[in-house]
Structure 1
Amino acid sequence: MLPFHLAFHYLLYSLRSVKLHGVHSPFIFDLNNQVIRHDGHFAAYDTVESLRNELLQDSRELQVTDFGAGPKAGTKKTRQVREIAKTSAKPAKYGQLLFRIVNHFQPKVIFDLGTSLGITTCYQAEACKKAAVYTFEGCPNIAKVAQENFAKLGLKQVQTVIGNLDETLALQIEKVDKLDYVFFDGNHRYEPTMRYFKQCMEKHHEGSVFVIDDLYWSPEMKRAWEEIKKHPKVLQTVDLFYVGLVFFRTTQPKEDFTLYY
């Protein structure tokens, strides 16, 4: 069951969302039809979900440092791998959505801000084997398990950047010419989210795709989403409740869409 604040926002989202027939932008119409609502099956789904099932049975204990949001940020505690897999990984529905987005746009450079055990990273990397994938994880012990998972799936193009995202992101941005695709799942507070967004904007281009995770996780994330939509270089956004898509296409009018998913 959803927490009350999420349930309330989901009700509002359901009331304002539209289905395919209500979309008049050709770009968003095609995206909705071919990517968001696509109901076909890819072999990568089975590969990654098999990995998830293994992790859900993994009783290894890790000393974990939390760099995320909330009162426990910065603290250390022991957690089992299976607990992390159960609570931190994106559900299959959204991992597979990210797979389809990457598969559709075929970005050359991918930034994945928030590795955890690497399940979501694997979905995105499986979708574009030729991409350079940089995934960011604060905790070295969690990163080690993620790297094992990348090796298990043969995802040699994934590079794990370990350390506090407040320090590692800017350094890595300097090393790339442009950012084609960014998944923001590194911190669920307003200030860090906006800072990471603005840093990544330095290397965005018209064809870039930014995906913002957990839009309504907290009042701070909702505030960040509203501010991102108002950014002068952001021209199209799609609210899918749990994730938001951001585009910069100057050939399309500035519009915000809320689509049922």
Structure 2
Amino acid sequence: MSVFSQAFDYLQYRLRALKLHGVHSPFIFQLYQNVILDKEKYESYTSVEALRKELLQDKRKINVTDFGAGSKVTNQRERSINEIARNSAKPAKYSQLLYRLVQHFKPNTVFELGTSLGITTSYLAKANSEVNIYTFEGCPAIAQTAKANFEQLNLANINQVIGNLDHTLAKQLQPIKQLDFVFFDGNHRYEPTMRYFEACLTRHHEDSVFVMDDIYWSDEMKQAWESIKQHPQVRQTVDLYFIGLVFFRTTQPKEHFTLAY
């Protein structure tokens, strides 16, 4: 997608986005006020951001296996750790939002489709030491680096699943009774995104929370986001531009919100 298209999409988003007092759903209003707009600097943020700073200075090179849509920045197989941290790791603003969402909704089982270097995974794990995190990564070299990062932060509630998500997701879903929280960041193409979404739907429940990453990353991701919004099992969605929140609360009317963030 061109820079012009991205700028146009962002402008359209800003024009549509509501502020707090424009939200009339009590559930979304409380979520927006107490979680999304929460400015508190939680203690857990410090150690993860210190790790991010280390990774941004790490010039070691690894061979990358990419099963997704690839990078917008480079197609080279050999990449440095700092390059991956700079281009693939979720910015602090959105990683910390995921932390607050897990704190707020208190899920028992979390799936993260796309580990990368484990920055976002670490935020998810630190939000609740009792939650079971299953993080999926296709590239063994990146997964090994992430494992070292988890050990550095003394995170013991993370289960790594390594391999092509087309195969590992279905296998890992089999023993899971229900999915409480899923962060989709494993592929940025329409067909795989929708396939993973449908697979995870087989384990969703009334209070599940699905988070879609990079919903404006490409035309295919925009198409996927529109399909998810219209899905018959989806009840509420929240467009925050870089990520989208999906809820399944049948007690609430079907509504779609675009909120300034």
Equivalent residue runs for 1:236-255 within 5 Å: 236-255=236-255
**Mapped partners of 1:213, 1:76: distance in 2:** 23
Structure 1 unmatched ranges of 5 or more = none
Per-residue CA deviation, residues 107-162 of structure 1 (Å, 9 max, x unaligned), is: 00000000000001111111111011000000001000000111111111101100
C-alpha contact (below 8 Å) 1:136/1:162 kept by paired residues: yes
Which AA in structure 2 matches 1:57? Q
The answer to whether structure 1 residue 132 and structure 2 residue 159 are counterparts is no
The corresponding residue for 2:91 is: 91
- CA drift of 1:3 comes to 2.0
Question: Which residue in 1 is equivalent to 2:41?
Answer: 41
Secondary structure of 2:95's aligned partner: helix
1:151 aligns with 2:151: yes
Alignment correspondent of 2:226: 226
Equivalence for 2:192? 192
- For each residue in 1:63-99, what CA deviation from the matched residue of structure 2 results, as whole angstroms up to 9, or x when unmatched? 1111110599xx8711111111111001111111111
Q: Alpha-carbon deviation of 1:26?
A: 0.4
CA contact (8 A) 1:66 1:76 kept: no
Cα 1:153–1:101 change in 2 (3 A) is same
CA–CA distance in structure 2, aligned partners of residues 54 and 211 of structure 1: 27
Letter in 2 for 1:184: F
RMSD: 1.3
**Matching residue's letter, 1:178:** Q
| Structure 2 unaligned blocks of 5 or more | none
Structure 1 residues 1-261: aligned runs within 5 Å: 3-70=3-70, 77-261=77-261
SS in 2 for 1:14: helix
| SS in structure 2 at match of 1:246 | strand
Instruction: With the length of structure 1 as denominator, give the TM-score of the two structures.
Output: 0.96
- In 2, Cα distance between the equivalents of 1:209 and 1:229? 14
Q: Distance in 2 between matches of 1:175 and 1:6?
A: 40
Q: Is the 8 A contact 1:189 1:220 kept in 2?
A: yes
Structure-2-length-normalised TM-score: 0.96
Q: Secondary structure at the match of 1:146?
A: helix
Give the paired residue count: 258
C-alpha contact (below 8 Å) 1:65/1:76 kept by paired residues: no
* Runs of 4+ in structure 1 over 3 Å off: none
Query: 1: distance between equivalents of 2:259 and 2:140?
Result: 37
